[in-house]
Amino acid sequence: MLRRRLGMAATGAVLALAVAACGGGSGSSTPSSSGGAAAGGSDSKSEFNAAMTGVVNPSDKKGGILKFANGGDWDSLDPGDTYYGYSWNFIRLYGRSLLMFKSAVGKEGNQLAPDLAEDLGKPSDDAKTWTYKIKKGVKFEDGTPVTSKDVKYAVERSFDKEVFPDGYTYFNDFLAWPKDYKGAYKSKDVNTDSAIETPDDYTIVFHLKQPLSNFDYFAQLPATIPVPKDKDTGAKYKEHIIATGPYKFEKNEIGKGFTLVRNDQWDPATDPNRKALPDGYEVSTNVNADDIDNRIIAGDLDIDVAGIGVQSAALGRVLSDPAMKANADNPTSTRLWYTSINGNVPPFDNIDCRKAVQYAVDKVALQTAWGGEFSGGQIATSMLPPAIPGHEDFNLYPPGADNKGDVNKAKEALTACGQPNGFETNISYRAERPKEKAAAEALQQSLGRVGIKLTLKPFPQADYFALYAGKPGYAKDNKIGLAMNGWQSDWPDGFGFLQQITDSRVIRETGGSSNISVRDPEVDKLVDKAMLETDTDARNAIWTQIDKKVMEDAFVLPNVWTKTLLVRSKNATNIFVNEAYGMYDYLGMGVK
């Protein structure tokens, strides 16, 4: 099963996306529309959030070098071993997976487009078998044609988590691998046709253990980027990756940086998604984070590749200077910080007591605790973040007109719950996280106004879900009624976002589940229904239904959807935020 808990996600691991709720923008064109630098209107340059709804500095000019820097380093450049959103955004420059997110502004960036494949996947009726046809004419950088076997091999090698510890386990968990399969290196001669078949050089068929209506999102994962078996060097492959995209590695010094140059074997005729405007990319890694901000503001550098926004030193500078602010964007990510309300811990077994919490909360104080409007997040009223298809704006528990809490409604709910004077309970948070603590304190204050007395209980984050807040027995015995929690999806889809945190069947008595509080058989049924529904719109509607049902149950108190402040390059063209990644789209940019 998916095991992605935000607690484990390192600070840089942001797979974020943009939000419609932020204003700004102009009528500039999308990158898919052609036209010179004049297209899009001149005002698109000078507005806060302009790159979230339009393209800033649209241009088709080729040439130049884009300069990127990373405050840390890639987990790995190997397509089978990378699990950062920014890396998935960037990898499209040198690798082609079966499908990809469109290089487009706003909602369009959330859409999948065929890349190596000719079309989106063809599911069987039971959604357990998915077939992709591969384009002819795609080549590796050495001129060898790409076949379905190279894709199959790439997925098989990514199975080995000893060699590739950084990657995800989606394919390991969902494909019908032979028993005791250990991946391409350790199970060399094992027949894997039960999981992946390649009936011919241009067809690949995936067999799943269970129905999965959204397998196309798996097909966009970098692990489907083909790897030539005879050039594979295992853990060392990241030092020289064989490119299939428009750029290939010229020099790669892990820990310091690398340069990409044009790949002359890339054929634009096979690739409608990439414009490949710059002649190359210079990327430095392990660069001082404040230095990165200063250089971008000064125009010496184009992109902070990690895409998690400026440091606090630059944040104040950018926001207080209107000219600088006009050159910045503030997208919202697919990360939700929330508070689980555990219905197993009395008096939260009574829905009205849960509702009292929803009404009494001061959401403005919570937002401040998470870091404020620009770097903390947007006040959340439901679970699904705005950029995930299926999100609907609704607020079942309006906490007053000013978002600071509706004390009267909260007291009414308390009376209905049989606790008119309030009650005492505990709130847990991860001890290593000052923002979770601040949010728990904000809750302590605002709930205190109606007599709900909270005691703060910090636990070490390594064992937070396994031994404490996420272990049903412990939570009940120790009266942990509320628990700080967070979640982020790997791609903008209801399954990735909601399944692990709303399906009650993932809760184990032994602990370890990220779902601490949502226990509703109706929701479980809806999840099953969504996993079978291959029609995208119908499926998204089910996720909306689940979001609403969980909020009706009041098992979750949404805090904020996180936001980041990005500063645009002074030298780049075609700057826009791709919602699938919640950061600037690295594929579309060119040089002025």
Partner 1 sequence: MVTYIIRRLIWAVVMLSIVSIITFAIFFLVPRLAGATSESLAARYVGRTASAEQVKVAAEKLGFNDPLIVQYGRFAKGIVAGADYDYGPGVEHCPAPCFGYSFLTRLPVWPDLLDRLPVTMSLAFGAAVIWVIAGVATGVLSALRRGSLFDRAAMGVALAGVSLPIFFTGIVSLVVFSYGHPFRITAPGGSFTPIEENPAMWAYNLILPWITLAFLYAAGYARLTRAGMLETMNEEYIRTARAKGLNERVVVVKHGLRGALTPILTIFGLDLGLLLGGAVLTESTYSLPGMGKYAIDAITNQDLPKVMGVTLVAAFFVVFANLIVDLLYAVVDPRVRLG
CB atoms within 10 A of CB 553: 20
Least separation, in Å, of the C-beta of 13 and partner 1? 7
Q: Which of 24, 45, 61, 73 binds partner 1 (CB under 8 A)?
A: 73
Residue 510 within binding range of partner 1, rule CB under 8 A: no
Site for partner 1 in 251-290 (CB under 8 A): 253-257, 284, 286-288, 290
**CA gap 24, 48 in Å, rounded:** 6
Distances (CA, A) of 478 to 80, 392, 428, 468, 583: 42, 36, 10, 9, 41
- Contact flags string 222-241 toward partner 1, x per CB under 8 A: ----------xxxxx--x--
CB atoms within 10 A of CB 393: 9
Q: Which is nearer to partner 1, 78 or 141 (CB)?
A: 78
Instruction: Point out which residues pair with 280 in neighbouring strands.
Output: 65, 261
Residue 4 within binding range of partner 1, rule CB under 8 A: yes
**CA gap 233, 239 in Å, rounded:** 9
Least separation, in Å, of the C-beta of 34 and partner 1? 32
Residue 169 within binding range of partner 1, rule CB under 8 A: yes
Least separation, in Å, of the C-beta of 481 and partner 1? 29
Least separation, in Å, of the C-beta of 253 and partner 1? 7
Please work out the total of residues on this chain that contact partner 1, with binding judged by CB under 8 A: 47
**CA gap 542, 585 in Å, rounded:** 29
Phi, psi (deg, nearest 5) at residue 250: -95, -45
Residue 317 within binding range of partner 1, rule CB under 8 A: no
Residue 83 within binding range of partner 1, rule CB under 8 A: yes
Least separation, in Å, of the C-beta of 150 and partner 1? 16
- Contact flags string 12-41 toward partner 1, x per CB under 8 A: -x----------------------------
Q: Classify 430 as helix, strand or coil.
A: strand
- Contact flags string 285-314 toward partner 1, x per CB under 8 A: -xxx-xx--xx-xxxxx-------------
**CA gap 387, 334 in Å, rounded:** 7
DSSP letter for each residue of 340-408: EE-TTSTTTTSHHHHHHHHHH--HHHHHHHHTHHHHTEEEPSSSS-TTSTT-----SS---TTSS--HH
Residue 60 within binding range of partner 1, rule CB under 8 A: no
Least separation, in Å, of the C-beta of 346 and partner 1? 32
Instruction: Point out which residues pair with 560 in neighbouring strands.
Output: 337, 379
Least separation, in Å, of the C-beta of 571 and partner 1? 11
Q: Which is nearer to partner 1, 164 or 247 (CB)?
A: 164
Whether residue 347 has a cis bond before it, omega within 30° of 0: yes
Q: Which is nearer to partner 1, 163 or 577 (CB)?
A: 163
Residue 322 within binding range of partner 1, rule CB under 8 A: no
Which residues have a Cβ under 8 Å from the Cβ of 154 and sit 6 or more positions away?
79, 80, 223, 224, 225, 226, 227
Q: Which is nearer to partner 1, 14 or 482 (CB)?
A: 14
Residue 432 within binding range of partner 1, rule CB under 8 A: no
Provide long-range contacts, Cβ within 8 A and 24+ apart, for 7-11.
7/430, 7/461, 7/464, 7/465, 7/486, 9/488, 11/308
Q: Which is nearer to partner 1, 165 or 272 (CB)?
A: 165
- Contact flags string 462-501 toward partner 1, x per CB under 8 A: x---------------------------------------
**Footprint of partner 1 (CB under 8 A):** 3-4, 8-10, 13, 69, 72-73, 75-76, 83, 161-169, 185, 232-236, 239, 253-257, 284, 286-288, 290-291, 294-295, 297-301, 462
